[in-house]
Amino acid sequence: MSMTATSQPLSQVPLPSHGHVRNPGTPFDLGEVNAVRVNRLASERRVSSLPGRRAVKGDAQTAWLLKAITCIDLTTLNGDDTEGRVRRLCAKAAQPVRPDILRATGMEKHRITVGAVCVYHRFVAAAVDALRGTGIPVAAVSTGFPSGLSPHAAKLMEIEASVKQGAKEIDIVITREHVLTGNWHALYDEMKDFRAACGDAHVKAILATGELKTLRNVKKASIVCMMAGADFIKTSTGKESVNATLPVSLTMARAIRRYHQMTGAKVGYKPAGGVSTAKDALTYLSLMKEELGRDWLEPNLFRIGASSLLADIERQLDHRLTGAYSAYNRHPIG
């Protein structure tokens, strides 16, 4: 198992890096897209062993869980969101772990925050204000999230409006019809337009993989979006009936590896929807390390879109110290 214990003292675990290097994109290459193959049975067999091989214990487990926190896009995307809820979420993002837990682990002198806060456009300005001085970026979902069926011009205006309000990251949703009909050039052109509208803000392409029918479609869509300049590829909106899964994540990770081999550019990965336990987070970190390497264990190349995950990780850290699981209400999120 490549997910092994660190030889460093816990207090010397490297701090997260939030710096991003943009993906410049490449010209559209239909030959590369048509060459995509995915062995579904082999993919399922590969990922089926991951949870059982999770052999991280003691201080190493604590370090990995703290690392997972730095890769969370702490998210609220509910119809009943309010500015007050968003501001409370931002406060939790800036101090995601109770101070007594950090003191007990020897990490109280290290600044641990989540990777970003993800909200609807309506709350971008409030989130930017609440996070001022923390260095935590605001990510805005856009382009007719979650269906992606708004007029194209309206999608571009929504991106530009969120960037103007201060969003540093934009999570766009692709038009699934382009994938399901094999109109790969249309997907490329759409993604290029989204990338241009983002300006200096980084763009995460949400594929809504649960609606793309096959792993081959998932891999093709991943390659096309990266060709068009996506800085991250992301599984889901969290609103589909099927969201992040390990076979899909393996497929997308291998698409990232292929694109890196083609261009030298490193593109990030974000599973979203259904990653809700500390055990899940460790499994995804293990997959990233084994398939893509150490660089993809930092928030500039790996994020987990989640709302309830942080509370479970904090409970696991508390359990490590006390030997008992605390109630969720002792680890409020927002």
DSSP states of 76-137: ---TT--HHHHHHHHHHHHS-S-HHHHHHHT-TTS----SEEEE-GGGHHHHHHHTTTT-PP
Average pLDDT value for the chain: 91
Q: Determine the pLDDT at residue 53.
A: 64
Model confidence pTM above 0.85? yes
Residue 18 pLDDT > 60:
no
Q: Is the pLDDT of residue 11 over 80?
A: no
Tens digit of pLDDT for each residue in 188-244? Answer: 999 999 999 999 999 999 999 999 999 999 999 999 999 999 999 999 999 999 999
Name residue 161's amino acid. A
pLDDT of 121 reads: 97
Which of 296, 292, 264, 269 shows the shortest CA–CA distance to 25? 264
Asked if residue 3 has pLDDT above 70, the reply is: no
The mean pLDDT of 1-18, rounded to a whole number, is 43
Catalytic residue chosen out of the listed positions 67, 219, 220, 270:
270
Phi-psi region of 312 (alpha: psi -120 to 50; beta: other; left: phi over 0): alpha
Contacts 24+ apart (CB under 8 A), 29-36: 29/227, 30/184, 30/185, 32/223, 32/227, 32/262, 33/184, 33/220, 33/223, 33/224, 36/216, 36/219, 36/220, 36/223
Amino acid at 121: H
Q: Give me the catalytic one of 220, 234, 266, 289.
A: 234
Provide the phi-psi class of 167: left if phi over 0, else alpha when psi is between -120 and 50, else beta. beta
> Which range is least confidently modeled, 36-45, 105-114, 186-195?
105-114
Contact 256, 292 (CB under 8 A): yes
Q: Which of 73, 171, 193, 231 is catalytic?
A: 171
In the prediction, which pLDDT does 334 show? 54
Quick check: 16 pLDDT over 70? no
Percent of the chain scoring above 90 in pLDDT: 79
Give one word for 171, left, alpha or beta, with left for phi > 0 and alpha for psi -120 to 50.
Answer: beta
Say what the pLDDT of residue 2 is: 39
Which is it for the CA torsion 254, 260, 261, 262, positive or negative?
Answer: positive
What mean pLDDT is predicted for residues 247-258?
A: 98
Q: What is the pLDDT of residue 49?
A: 85
Supply the pLDDT for residue 326.
Answer: 78
Q: Mean pLDDT throughout 296-324?
A: 91
The DSSP symbol for 213 reads -
Q: How far is CA 13 from CA 9, 89, 315, in A?
A: 7, 26, 20
Sheet architecture: strand order including 202-206: 268-270, 232-234, 202-206, 169-173, 138-141, 116-119, 72-75, 304-306
CA distance 221 to 184: 8
Segment 68-87 mean pLDDT: 96
Domains of the chain: 26-330 (3.20.20.70)
- Mean pLDDT over 278-297 rounds to 95
CA distance linking residue 123 with residue 196, whole number of Å: 23
Q: Does 234 participate in catalysis according to the annotation?
A: yes
Position 112 scores a pLDDT of 93
155 class by beta-carbon count within 10 Å (0-12 exposed, 13-18 middle, 19+ buried): buried
